[in-house]
């Protein structure tokens, strides 16, 4: 792990409360499940979940009979993920505590039909290099499910909230918030990195294209209606481009 990459060791409880137990966490999982439904319904696949956290998405795929390798850089996350799976009567093919950069050596000759890498690159010192590592782990015709923190949405949200000094400082703050990524990624740059590695973005979705712009945050409690609207608009431009996160499906040529 690079000295500048960040893990979430000793923060599993906070992660559960502040992300997965909120409407934004529920929304994220619902959108990902919609986008990945074709993989879920396919014949058993070899799936690698990088930075899989507490294991909700891994559990979904394990329950469908897929061979899942669950990894995270934080040992506590992996322990909690395994416990969650066991509570549901499930078990991944393999659990590993490892940084993304170490996975090719750790997993040796393993290659995967689907690699999940969600909310990981924005915490890394060299996200472009991380894409090269992921490419090495894909089987021929395999796909990468990449979700990353959208720099453009962070600029836009802070501008409409009136945080003008923050926007003018290019999103730099003196005090960082540990669960808030401090290196949001420029979608155009990410796509350039992908193309430079002979990759193609097959589909694009915005995650939280409405949720994060609600004038009254309590309106998110009308979750079913909110989710219906999010799913209706989040693959259409310009709505998808304002998602707090962007979810792309990617294939690399050999």
Q: Which residues are annotated as a binding site for S-adenosyl-L-methionine?
A: 28, 51-52, 72, 118
Q: Calculate the CA 143 to chain-centre distance.
A: 14
Q: Which residues contact 101 (CB under 8 A, 6 or more apart)?
A: 1, 2, 129, 130, 133
Give DSSP secondary structure letters for 98-118: --GGGHHHHHTT--EEEEEEE
Q: Are 72 and 97 in contact (CB under 8 A)?
A: yes
Residue 143, beta-bridge partner list: 114, 251
Q: Are 138 and 115 in contact (CB under 8 A)?
A: yes
Task: Indicate the annotated binding residues.
Answer: 28, 51-52, 72, 118
- Relative to beta strand 138-149, strand 46-50 is unpaired
């Amino acid at each position: 792990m690079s000295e500048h990459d960040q893990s979430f060791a000793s923060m599993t409880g906070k992660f559960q409360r502040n992300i997965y137990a909120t409407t934004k966490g529920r929304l994220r999982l619902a959108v990902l499940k919609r986008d990945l439904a074709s993989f879920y319904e396919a014949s058993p696949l070899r799936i690698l979940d990088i930075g899989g956290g507490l294991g909700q998405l891994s559990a979904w795929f394990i329950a469908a009979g897929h061979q899942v390798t669950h990894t995270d850089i934080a040992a506590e996350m992996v322990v909690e993920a395994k416990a969650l799976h066991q509570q549901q009567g499930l078990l991944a093919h393999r659990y590993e505590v490892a940084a993304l950069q170490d996975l090719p050596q750790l997993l040796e000759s393993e290659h995967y039909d689907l690699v999940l890498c969600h909310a990981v690159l924005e915490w890394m010192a060299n996200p472009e290099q991380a894409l090269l590592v992921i490419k090495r782990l894909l089987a021929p015709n395999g796909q990468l499910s990449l979700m990353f923190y959208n720099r453009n949405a962070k600029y836009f949200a802070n501008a409409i909230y009136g945080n003008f000094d923050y926007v003018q400082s290019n999103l730099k703050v003196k005090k960082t918030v540990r669960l808030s990524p401090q290196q949001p990624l420029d979608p155009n740059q990410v796509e350039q990195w992908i193309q430079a590695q002979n990759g193609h973005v097959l589909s694009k979705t915005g995650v939280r294209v409405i949720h994060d712009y609600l004038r009254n945050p309590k309106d998110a409690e009308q979750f079913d209606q909110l989710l219906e609207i999010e799913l209706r608009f989040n693959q259409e431009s310009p709505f998808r481009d304002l998602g707090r996160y962007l979810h792309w499906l990617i294939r690399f040529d050999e």
